[in-house]
Structure 1
Amino acid sequence: WLGGQPNVAASVKRYANIKGDVDHDTALNFLQGLLVVLRDSGRSGLLLVLDEVETLQRVRRDVRDKGLNALRQLLDELDQGRFPGLYLTITGTPAFYDGPQGIQRLAPLAQRLHTDFQTAAQFDNPRDTQIRLPGFDQDRLTEVGRKVRDIYAGSCKSPERVAKLADDDYVADLARAITGELGGKVGVAPRIFLKKLVADVLDRIDQFPEFDPRRDYALTVADTELTELERNARAASDPDDIELSL
Structure 2
Amino acid sequence: MRDLVPDLPDVVQLREELIDEVDGGRFPGLFLVITGTPAFFDGQQGARRLPPLAQRLATDFSTDPRFDSPRAVQLRLTGFDLPKLVELGATVRDLFAMGARHPERVASLVDDAYLSELAKAVTGGLGGQVGVAPRVFLRKLVADVLDRVDYLDGFDPRRDYRLTLSSSELSEVERNAAASTLRAGSADEVELDL
TM-score (norm 1): 0.69
Q: Which has the higher strand share?
A: 1
Q: Equivalent residue for 2:9? A: 65
- CA–CA distance in structure 2, aligned partners of residues 214 and 128 of structure 1: 42
Q: 1:189 to 1:238 in 2, by over 3 A?
A: closer
What are the within-5 Å matches in structure 2 for residues 181-192 of structure 1?
A: 181-192=125-136
- CA–CA distance in structure 1, aligned partners of residues 95 and 25 of structure 2: 34
What are the within-5 Å matches in structure 2 for residues 120-199 of structure 1?
A: 120-199=64-143
Q: 1:223 to 1:216 in 2, by over 3 A?
A: same
What are the within-5 Å matches in structure 2 for residues 202-241 of structure 1?
A: 202-236=146-180, 238=182
- CA–CA distance in structure 2, aligned partners of residues 153 and 74 of structure 1: 37
Aligned residues: 183
Identical pairs, percent: 57
Deviation at 1:229, TM superposition (A): 1.6
Unpaired runs of at least 5, structure 2: 187-194
- Which of the pair has the greater relative contact order for Cα pairs under 8 Å at 6+ separation? 2
* DSSP 3-state at the match of 1:89: coil
Deviations 1:76-101 (A, max 9, x none): 12222222332212122333212233
Q: Which amino acid aligns with 1:193?
A: F
* DSSP 3-state at the match of 2:9: helix
- CA–CA distance in structure 2, aligned partners of residues 145 and 229 of structure 1: 21
Alignment partner of 2:50 out of 103, 106, 122? 106
Q: Which amino acid aligns with 1:63?
A: D
Unpaired runs of at least 5, structure 1: 1-23, 25-59
Q: Equivalent residue for 2:60? A: 116
Q: 1:238 to 1:172 in 2, by over 3 A?
A: closer
- CA–CA distance in structure 2, aligned partners of residues 136 and 100 of structure 1: 29
